[in-house]
């Protein structure tokens, strides 16, 4: 088992999803049970499903000096950075530590592939149309390179792209960099946008529901796909002693199948064990779990098998009924939801579930509720059997 780590402060964070722009919109929706899924009006060809689409992106053009980065994914990244004073917090970290002492680690599964898809639809004599002949947006690092440019962060920069665990793993990588003294702070996060690749790709795997997704429901029949941008600024605890903290992280591989989880959740269990060990706590200390809960038959069946180790008082929910599965952004988005649970004493409900699977029912929070949350977990499991689990906890009393 790994050793306990020094916690890090979440000095700032923000999220933008189908629930709205910024933390207040997320909080209001999670508190009231207002979901953000709507009929698919995005794909280039008709596809009957619900999607979690972020409003207002078509008008969110990038400022002129950054215009060469323009594409839907970078627009969403930019929109996300404008919320909740994030740009000021980043500037503060750069001022405190120096631009090269702030690392940038972002997760994305498809980055700006939407722009590449667009180029293929508009080929000009077999070449990309002139407005899309920008190599820097046809690469999976497009998002992080753009965010480095937009924020002035000059420390180590990396994109992690492990499908749906991408932006959970960024917390682990950043913690290691800071622990070894290679950075003093890190901006982590994830951005993924709707694109035909994921809508038709998951459809081809018969994993997309025609309805709004129903995590942990006996009748669940697949995912709803969403888009989101979520960021967190990690700094030493002394910088923000009252802020909630990253307590632990765990990562593992299933070694089982490219698109189906291990039937007993072997990898997920290992990630959870490691995360709790690094946090130095037992499962009995966990108040809230933000489940991966994609609403596929297999994911939810396997993830429910992890629950019996938790006390009956531990509340658990998937928030994908609110936002859809935001894929490479899900880890960071749901980390922010776990942080909101701690900061505001809420348990987000498992929206979309009316007939809970018996295996999960004792822990599932079906209605919004208010209660003190000191420790919150977030699970993220991706294609290729790639698992990550994060543990967050309360900071010092203000």
Partner 1 sequence: MSAPLSLRITGIGAWAPGAPDWQHLRVILRGDSTPDDDAPARPAGTILPAAERRRAPDGVRLAADVAVQATSMAGIDPAAVPCIFASTQGELAITDYVCETLARSPLELSPTKFHNSVLNAPAGYWTIATGCTAASSAVTAYHRSFAAGLLEAAVFACAEDTPVLFASCDVASTGPLAEMTHTTLAFGMAMLLHPNASNGARLNLALHGGTAEPVSVVTMATVARDNPANAEALALLSLLARANPSNLRLPLSSGLSLDMEIKP
Q: Which of 21, 213, 325, 353 is catalytic?
A: 325
Interstrand relation of 102-107 and 185-192 (parallel, antiparallel or unpaired): parallel
H/E run at residue 188: strand 185-192
- For the segment 369-398, give every residue that binds partner 1 (CB under 8 A): 382-386
CB of residue 255 to partner 1, shortest distance in Å: 5
Nearest-5° Cα angle at 206, 201 to 210: 100
Catalytic (active site) residue 344: no
Can you tell me whether residue 12 is helix, strand or coil? strand
Judged by CB under 8 A, the residue of 18, 37, 79, 145 near partner 1 is 145
Closest CB 69 distance from partner 1, rounded Å = 12
Give alpha helix (H) positions in the chain. 23-32, 72-81, 86-97, 113-121, 142-151, 166-179, 196-204, 266-279, 297-304, 320-323, 330-344
Select 55 or 99, whichever has its Cβ closest to partner 1: 99
Print the binding letters for residues 205-234 with partner 1: x by CB under 8 A, - otherwise.
xx----------------------------
Among the listed residues 395, 397, 324, the one whose alpha carbon sits nearest the alpha carbon of residue 13: 395
Residues 164-203 that bind partner 1 (CB under 8 A): 169, 173, 176-177, 179-182, 196-197, 200-203
127 binds partner 1 (CB under 8 A): yes
Helix (H) or strand (E) holding 8: strand 8-17
Q: Is 48 in the site for partner 1 (CB under 8 A)?
A: no
Q: Is 164 a catalytic residue?
A: yes
Q: Does the protein bind partner 1 through residue 116 (CB under 8 A)? A: yes
In the list 31, 87, 136, 236, the residue contacting partner 1 (rule: CB under 8 A) is: 136
Among 65, 126, 358, 397, binds partner 1 (CB under 8 A): 126
**294 is a contact residue toward partner 1 (CB under 8 A):** no
The two counts, helices (H) then strands (E), for the chain are 11, 16
DSSP codes of every residue in 377-397: EEEEEETTTEEEEEEEE----
Active-site option among 164, 195, 213, 389: 164
Catalytic annotation present for 292: yes
Is residue 128 close enough to count as binding partner 1 by CB under 8 A? yes
Residue 298 engages partner 1 in binding (rule: CB under 8 A):
no
Decide if 335 contacts 230 (C-beta within 8 A).
yes
Q: Is 270 in the site for partner 1 (CB under 8 A)?
A: yes
Question: Active-site residues: which are they?
Answer: 164, 292, 325
């Amino acid at each position: 088992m790994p050793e306990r780590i020094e916690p890090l402060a979440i000095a700032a964070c923000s999220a933008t999803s189908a629930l709205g722009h910024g933390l207040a919109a997320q909080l209001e929706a999670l508190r009231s049970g207002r979901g953000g899924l709507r009929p698919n009006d995005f794909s280039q060809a008709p596809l009957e499903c619900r999607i979690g689409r972020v409003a207002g992106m078509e008008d969110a053009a990038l400022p002129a000096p950054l215009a060469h980065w323009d594409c839907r994914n970078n627009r969403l990244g930019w929109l996300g950075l404008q919320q909740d004073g994030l740009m000021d917090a980043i500037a503060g970290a750069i001022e405190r530590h120096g631009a090269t002492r702030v690392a940038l680690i972002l997760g994305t599964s498809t980055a700006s592939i939407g722009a590449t898809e667009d180029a293929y639809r508009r080929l000009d004599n077999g070449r990309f149309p002139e407005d899309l002949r920008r190599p820097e947006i046809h690469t999976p690092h497009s998002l992080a390179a753009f965010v480095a440019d937009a924020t002035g962060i000059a420390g180590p920069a990396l994109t992690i792209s492990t499908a749906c665990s991408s932006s959970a793993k960024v917390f682990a990588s950043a913690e290691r960099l800071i622990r070894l003294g290679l950075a003093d702070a890190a901006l982590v996060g994830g951005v993924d946008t709707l694109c035909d690749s994921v809508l038709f790709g998951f459809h081809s795997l018969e994993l997309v529901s025609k309805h709004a997704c129903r995590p942990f429901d006996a009748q669940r029949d697949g995912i709803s796909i969403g888009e989101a941008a979520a960021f967190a600024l990690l700094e030493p605890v002394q910088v923000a002693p009252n802020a909630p903290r990253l307590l632990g992280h765990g990562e593992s591989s299933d070694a089982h199948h490219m698109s189906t989880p291990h039937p007993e959740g072997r990898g997920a269990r290992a990630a959870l064990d490691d995360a709790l060990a690094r946090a130095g706590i037992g499962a009995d200390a966990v108040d809230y779990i933000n489940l991966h809960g994609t609403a596929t038959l297999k994911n939810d069946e396997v993830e429910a098998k992890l629950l019996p180790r938790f006390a009956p008082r531990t509340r658990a929910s998937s928030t994908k009924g609110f936002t859809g599965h935001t894929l490479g952004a899900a880890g960071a988005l749901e980390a922010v939801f776990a942080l909101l649970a701690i900061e505001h004493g809420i348990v987000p409900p498992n929206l979309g579930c009316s007939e809970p699977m018996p295996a999960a029912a004792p822990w599932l929070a079906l209605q919004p509720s208010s209660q003190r949350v000191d420790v919150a977990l977030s699970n993220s499991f991706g294609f290729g059997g790639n698992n990550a689990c994060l543990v967050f906890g309360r900071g010092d009393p203000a």
